[in-house]
Amino acid sequence: MAQVDQKALLEFVLRQGDNTLVLGHRVSEWCGHAPVLEEDIALANTALDLIGQTQMWLGLAAEIEGEGRTADDMAFLRDAWDFRNLLLVELPNGDFGRTILRQFLFDAFSAIYLPLLTKSADPRVAEIAAKATKEVAYHLERSAQTVVGLGDGSEESHARMQEALDYLWPYVGEMFASDGVDQAMAEAGIGPDPAGLRAEYDALIGRVLSEATLRIPEDSFAHKGGRNGYMHTEHLGHLLTQMQWLQRAYPGCEW
């Protein structure tokens, strides 16, 4: 294995862990609020899977950083500008339809990306990806099926899903907006450059969205700035105040 730039590797691992952390937190916000009991439990299960993946990714990030921090420190003691998640996952939940569509758009990417990471030259990355791949296959089955059910459902559910797609679409492009970190990872055999996965992704979501009778917006404008930490949306800071307040108010508190 070629010498891997540790700074780029850390950045790469943070991107994975921050995606699952922020989305996991967002999904957990539904706990006790979902429209039906069955969806409530399913969303909580999904959130727990994502937080479990976070624990592994951020644990690895702390290890690579080598400053004695833990996965918890990474989750609860970094501020908004340190986060490397996609803007897509920090967007507010909106209605149930938007939450499910956001989940689907993320699941579809993960379902393509993670299996490739299982072949990573870094065994730690490969191991995390192997565990997460099975969870994500289920997430995708569930979110895709729900997107079809709601998109090709009643007049109201269809309208809400189309509105959600119009709102979320400009945040899809960032998944494929690769940079030097991705190129370094590709060269070192750690993980593929996401830019090369766009066609497969478009084919996957195209199938599901067409079955859901939803129209993909033609505008290809993409919001960026999350995965490289350049500029998050205003929503991330609010999310972090909720998620981190206990460790901020009672530093080092354990229970």
Q: Is 31 in the site for another protein (CB under 8 A)?
A: no
Cα(115)–Cα(155) distance, integer angstroms: 37
Q: Is 32 in the site for another protein (CB under 8 A)?
A: no
Cα(170)–Cα(36) distance, integer angstroms: 30
Helix runs in the chain, H state only: 6-28, 37-65, 71-76, 87-90, 96-117, 123-151, 155-168, 180-187, 198-211, 234-249
Q: Is 159 in the site for another protein (CB under 8 A)?
A: no
Cα(3)–Cα(7) distance, integer angstroms: 12
Q: Is 145 in the site for another protein (CB under 8 A)?
A: yes
User: Least distance to another protein from the beta carbon of 159, Å?
Assistant: 17
User: Least distance to another protein from the beta carbon of 216, Å?
Assistant: 24
Which residue, 1 or 36, is less far from another protein as judged by CB?
Answer: 36
Which residue, 214 or 240, is less far from another protein as judged by CB?
Answer: 214
Q: Is 2 in the site for another protein (CB under 8 A)?
A: no
Measuring CA to CA, which residue among 116, 132, 131 is closest to residue 201? 116
Q: Is 254 in the site for another protein (CB under 8 A)?
A: no
Cα(55)–Cα(13) distance, integer angstroms: 12
Which residue, 41 or 246, is less far from another protein as judged by CB?
Answer: 41
Q: Is 45 in the site for another protein (CB under 8 A)?
A: yes
For 5, 115, 228, the CA distances from 82, given in Å and listed in that order, are 19, 27, 9
Q: Is 92 in the site for another protein (CB under 8 A)?
A: no
The residue within the footprint of another protein, chosen from 8, 42, 80, 184 (CB under 8 A), is 42
**Contact positions vs another protein (CB under 8 A):** 36-38, 41-42, 45, 138, 141-142, 145-146, 149
